[in-house]
Amino acid sequence: MRLEIKDLHVHYGKIEAIKGISIVVNEGEIVTLIGANGAGKTTMLKTISGLRPATSGQIIFNGEDITGVPAHKRVDLGLSQAPEGRGIFPGMTVLENLEMGKFHRHDRKKEMAEDLDKVYTLFPRLKERISQAGGTLSGGEQQMLAIGRALMARPKVLLLDEPSMGLAPQMIANIFRIITEINKTGVTILLVEQNAQQALQRAHRAYILETGNVVKEAKASDLLNDPAVREAYLGTGAH
Amino acid sequence: MKNFNLRDFGAGIWERSNRYQRVAIVLVTITLAALLPFAGASFLATPVAAYDAVLVYPVAIFVLMSLGLNIVVGKSGMLDLGYVAFFAIGAYTNGLLSMHTGLNTWEIMPIGIGAAMFAGVLLGIPTLRLRGDYLAIVTLGFGEIIRIVALNVSWTNGPNGISGIQMPPPILGKEFALDDQKLFFWVVLVMILLTIWMIRRLTVRRPGRAWEAIRQDEDAAELMGVPTLKYKIWSFTLGAAIGGAAGVLYAAKNLFISPEMFTLNVSILILACVVFGGIGNIWGVILGGAILGYLPDRIRFISDARLLVFGLVLVVVMNFRPDGLLPRKKREKALVKKGASA
């Protein structure tokens, strides 16, 4: 279940946001894309999940070219995204949100109960909030809901867009611990993050993006110790 | 009465009722609605215009159109400012077929609905990729295009319109008559009931959940595997079908149609009914359509100031109830019952 992006170009109007990026995510890995605001991280994820069209290049998933496949069909293939800014349905309850995550596999009633259980095991907090409207949850809970909802689709590859955004440090650590847990159940993860410290600690490999280009690719642990990376993305003195 | 909420009051009665009580509530409500044409001598009477005719148009037909537009605007969150187009297509289908063929109103009805749906799909496929303001402008343009075409081509008789549209044939031996429109009101009432039934069935099933997801966050819906374009076209086309049906009925009631009846004003007025009553809530929308259809004729005795009062009512009510008379449940702000779904 390999995800391969080949020479991807994406435009917003005339502006080229992604300028020929190639990345590979192997089965079972956590791969992270880190970089500053405007580097093209979110655009990469949106193009991979199908919300944005690619100008050129290829997205190959499980040996199949899915570049032209619409977003709602990529979910069937096993590609699931927890959107940026959490993107949950604010007017639906936690349970309804999770049920929406299974919209495309609605006929499998037994799966629903099983997967709800799995999500509640990962995020006990969601079970406590089961009948609460999504919009009334705290930021961390909304992030949990977004991830839980994406898991309901039984993804093979999970795309996470800035899961740490706007969260308290303790909640960030908690979310990243759960991401590792999800990965251990066999879900491949592509993680987009500004919080390079946490992302590099959890990921196997990393790509550094700058203004639409990959400027560096390496094992995550190597990047953690790379002085140049430390200076640019981790803050020199810290840790 | 600060804490009184008519919607929750009504919903409360419904939820506390058992199956038989619910059947009784539905039957009583339908009976009361069906008896409306006999209330002409009461305080409901409309000066100047004939009461039973007012009940058919604007009241009942406005209610029907509001229900149709609510599917598009309220349920799936697409701002359609050209709803009059489908009304016009229904009306002109009736006018033209009545003029050139021997088909009667009930035979024309499915053709009129089909024509409106076809137009809905045709307009929907290229435009429903647009969102928000862009969609509003495109639909607004479409509404005007239909009117201007009807005004300028020869086969619609241009500005002269189409007269001599046939009355509907008798139902169960009862004739339609110009001076007694009760039968017509009941026909429209049946259409309204069918529409309510259809909407309620759809909203608790997959289409309803898909529309709700699209309305709340279209990108997230797509990521959940909802074919958003398909469901938006469905919503748009169902709205069009109901607008088309209303148009066929309107032409059969009026017996004459001309392009000036299908201006942008109609789209705006129906949208006002939806917003005034409570966007997204079918009971609110019915109330909105009924009140805004009825009010101008009820206050016709103040002739010149009529529209001024009408406007004032709109402004005042929207100020005090910005979500409409019977707003939909806002769950973003409220805790809901445990285990509630769909």
Residue A5's pLDDT band (boundaries 50, 70, 90)? very high
- Chain B closest-CA separation from residue A129 CA (Å): 9
Mean pLDDT of A144-163: 95
Mean pLDDT of B14-18: 88
**A199, amino acid identity:** A
Alpha carbon B100 to its chain's center: 28
Q: Which residues of B touch A96 (CB under 8 A)?
A: 340-342
Q: Which residues of A touch B217 (CB under 8 A)?
A: 87-90
Q: Are A148 and A169 in contact (CB under 8 A)?
A: no
Note the pLDDT of residue B267.
95
Residue-wise pLDDT for B85-122, tens only, equals: 999 999 999 999 999 998 999 999 999 999 999 999 99
Considering chain A, what percentage of its residues have pLDDT values greater than 70? 96
How many Å apart are CA A236 and CA B48, to the nearest integer?
84
| Residue A58, strand partner residues | A6
Mean pLDDT of B12-30: 91
The pTM for the full model equals: 0.90
- Residue B241 in domain: yes
Contact A131 B220 (CB under 8 A): no
Name the pairing type of β-strands A3-12 and A157-161. unpaired
Contact A81/B at CB under 8 A: yes
Q: Are B40 and B51 in contact (CB under 8 A)?
A: yes
Note the pLDDT of residue B309.
85
Using CA atoms in the order A17, A44, B226, A135, what is the torsion angle rounded to 10 degrees?
-90
The total number of residues written for chain B in this structure = 342
- Residue B124 in domain: yes
Residue-wise pLDDT for B173-230, tens only, equals: 888 888 889 999 999 999 999 999 999 999 888 999 999 999 999 999 999 999 999 9
Mean pLDDT of A106-135: 91
Question: Mean pLDDT score of chain A, rounded to an integer?
Answer: 92
Residue A157: partners with Cβ closer than 8 Å, 6 or more residues away: A1, A3, A25, A61, A78, A79, A80, A187, A188, A189, A190
Is the pLDDT at A26 greater than 50? The verdict is yes
Question: Mean pLDDT score of chain B, rounded to an integer?
Answer: 90
Structural domains in chain A, sorted by start: 3-234 (3.40.50.300)
How many other C-beta atoms can be found within 10 angstroms of the C-beta atom of residue A193?
Answer: 25
Is the pLDDT at A110 greater than 50? The verdict is yes
- Residue B149 in domain: yes
Residue-wise pLDDT for B298-333, tens only, equals: 887 776 777 788 888 889 988 888 889 998 876 654
Q: Which residues of B touch A53 (CB under 8 A)?
A: none
Contact A103 B335 (CB under 8 A): no
**A21, amino acid identity:** I
How many Å apart are CA B147 and CA B247, to the nearest integer?
13
Residue A67: closest CA among A79, A57, A77, A81: A57
Note the pLDDT of residue B1.
43
Mean pLDDT of A39-57: 94
Note the pLDDT of residue B332.
52
Q: Are A99 and B223 in contact (CB under 8 A)?
A: no
- Chain A closest-CA separation from residue B306 CA (Å): 39
- Residue B66 in domain: yes
Residue B314: closest CA among B261, B271, B263: B271
Residue B335's pLDDT band (boundaries 50, 70, 90)? very low
**B268, amino acid identity:** I
- Residue of B223, B229, B323, B331 to mutate when probing chain A, most A C-beta within 10 A: B223
Mean pLDDT of A76-85: 88
- Residue B304 in domain: no
Return the percent helix, strand and coil in chain B, to nearest 5: 70, 0, 25
What kind and span of H or E run contains B176? none
- Supply the ipTM of this predicted assembly: 0.92
- Residue B202 in domain: yes
Structural domain tally of chain B?
Answer: 1
**A68, amino acid identity:** G
Phi, psi torsion values for B285, nearest 5 degrees: -65, -40
- Residue B24 in domain: no
DSSP B73: I
- Chain B closest-CA separation from residue A183 CA (Å): 20
Mean pLDDT of B20-26: 93
DSSP string, B212-273: HHHHH-HHHHHHTT--HHHHHHHHHHHHHHHHHHHHHHHHHHHSEE-GGGSSHHHHHHHHHH
How many Å apart are CA B70 and CA B76, to the nearest integer?
9
- Residue of A77, A100, A143 to mutate when probing chain B, most B C-beta within 10 A: A100
Note the pLDDT of residue B310.
84
Domain carrying residue B133: 48-262
Mean pLDDT of B48-52: 86
Note the pLDDT of residue A87.
86
Residue B212: partners with Cβ closer than 8 Å, 6 or more residues away: A89, A91, A92, B75, B203
How many Å apart are CA B116 and CA B99, to the nearest integer?
19
- Residue B1 in domain: no
Considering chain B, what percentage of its residues have pLDDT values greater than 90? 69
